[in-house]
Amino acid sequence: MTQKLTPDESRQKFDKIFADLTRSLKIKDELARFWIFILGMFLIVGLWGWIHQINKGLGITGMRDYVSWGMYIGNFVFFVAVSLIGLLISSILHLLHFDWGKPISRVAETVAIAAVALAGLVIVMDMGRPDRFLNIFLHGRFASPIVWDVTVITTYVAISTLLFYLPLIPDLALLRDRLGDDVPKIQKKLYSVLSLGWKGNTRQFEIITHAVRIMLVLIIPVGLSIHTVTSWLFANTLRAGWDSTIFGPYFVSGAFVAGSAAVILVMYVYRQRYDLEEYFTDKSFDWMGKMLVLMCLVYLYFNINEYLVPAYKMRAAEGVHLRELFTGRWSGLFWFAQIGGIFLPVILLLFRYFRRPLPITIIAFITLVASWFKRFIIVIPTLEHPHLPIQNVPEHFVHYTPTRPEIMITLLPFFASAIIITMLAKLFPVVTMWEYAEHSGVDKKTMFEDSEK
């Protein structure tokens, strides 16, 4: 809280905040239509590829007996990783009273929801028979990390949605009461239903605060387990490159890097597109930059452990794997992922110049791309070296090369998540209005004076 404002100042200030933060709901220009059109086109192409795959089977992908987990699983790990940022920003920063994280907590939750929802879809895309998906609930084996993964992702979707929804309820009431006719009636009806008859009384605020606090604590173990369990899909095997005791924290720290980069990207787009310089300030980018450096350093530490310890011992299979990565067939991608995903942000973001909005966004983009390839590098090279060599197989079974439909299907979740993020920004303010206004000194009574009537 800064300074106490007079009721009139309060009202003026709040009017401005409301006008700024509802701009994303009202914007309807050529660019918006073009953006949706482009995303839609790519989405249709991806869906067409997927239908093709369902008809013809997974044989249309580059996956064969050796490499049976291809880009889809790499994609899956990437989306689960990105979704973890919801946990970091809206929960950990909040509980540690890092106030700069508050305006971006809804951005983080948006990214988290889009990413985790798509992570679930990616898994279905990796199935040759998606119609048998329900079998995992009917006949799943509780000893299998895959069942744990499905459980934990479902749980995380629920928690992320609730954590997005709970602080949104007062905002929904504001939208219900204060928005004019510039949004469709059906949209106003939606706000009215979702705001649950919010009046803004003390009891309601108590309930919200109480519920949010529980969720903020609950999301920490669930968020950590979602990515730890994902890492166990790999680490619970004996394969070279996966058989590691630090895979859980290794994945989680990598996830914070990817997620921070994704949030920076979305922040920048919101800031430019909806003129929200006052909300996503230079200061927040600066903080995000510092946090990204910290996360990269933690990730670097786990990377050193992950590669140096086996490289010191150089056991037969591990040796083959490490040579492939560092100097062999995969070295190009490997070094791109390591340099772009760790070294580049660590070094550049130490300088204040690079923590300004535009430079940091460019760096975040490179980091995000590198993070995707890092997952690719974790999944595929290991599979090319099975413990039991298979005999009499054609050459293309041994080495993995993704096919064109496979690439189309892999890109689909990116466009789908962009559509989800766009839709959420079009329906709901991208910053929690009441929280931000309260922080700027506006009285809660002033905010909800219309609601009480």
Q: Which of 52, 124, 80, 39 is nearest to 403 (CA)?
A: 52
**Tokens representing residue 434 in the block:** 């009441």
Stretch of 162-170, 176-184, 290-298, 350-358 lying at the interface with another protein (CB under 8 A): 162-170
Residue 141 within binding range of another protein, rule CB under 8 A: yes
Regarding 445 and contact with another protein (CB under 8 A), the answer is no
Region near another protein per CB under 8 A, out of 48-56, 175-183, 213-221, 270-278: 213-221
Contact between 143 and another protein per CB under 8 A: yes
Figure out which of the listed residues 390, 396, 404, 423 binds another protein, where binding follows CB under 8 A.
Answer: 390
User: Site for another protein (CB under 8 A): which residue of 210, 283, 315, 404?
Assistant: 210
Tokens of 93: 């920063």
With contacts defined by CB under 8 A, how many residues of the chain interact with another protein?
38
- With contacts defined by CB under 8 A, name the span among 9-17, 178-186, 384-392, 438-446 that binds another protein: 384-392
Per CB under 8 A, does 331 bind another protein?
Answer: no
**Binding span for another protein by CB under 8 A among 196-204, 275-283, 288-296, 421-429:** 196-204
Residue 414 CA to residue 266 CA, distance in Å, equals 13
The CB-of-391 to another protein minimum distance in angstroms stands at 5
Number of neighbouring beta carbons within 10 Å of residue 406: 21
* Residue 184 tokens, joined: 């469709």
Report the half-sphere exposure of 355 (CA within 13 A, side-chain side). Answer: 19
| Backbone CA torsion sign across 376, 67, 309, 226 | positive
Provide the H-helix boundaries in 339-401: 344-348, 357-383, 395-398
* Shorter beta-carbon distance to another protein: residue 65 or 275: 65
CA distance 411 to 16: 39
> Does 214 help bind another protein (rule: CB under 8 A)?
yes
* Min dist. Cβ of residue 57 to another protein (A): 24
Q: How far apart are CA 288 and CA 282, in angstroms?
A: 10
Q: Which of 80, 84, 116, 169: binder of another protein (CB under 8 A)?
A: 169
Angle 156-158-159 from CA coordinates, rounded to 5°: 65
Q: Are 235 and 242 in contact (CB under 8 A)?
A: yes
Of 146 and 344, which CB lies nearer to another protein in the complex structure? Answer: 146
Using CB atoms within 10 Å of the CB of residue 51, give its burial: 0 to 12 exposed, 13 to 18 middle, 19+ buried: exposed
* One residue of 31, 38, 158, 304 binding another protein per CB under 8 A: 158
Residues of span 218-257 touching another protein by CB under 8 A: 218, 221-222, 225, 236
Q: How far is the CB of 141 from another protein (least distance, A)?
A: 6
Residue from 151, 187, 192, 403 binding another protein (CB under 8 A): 151
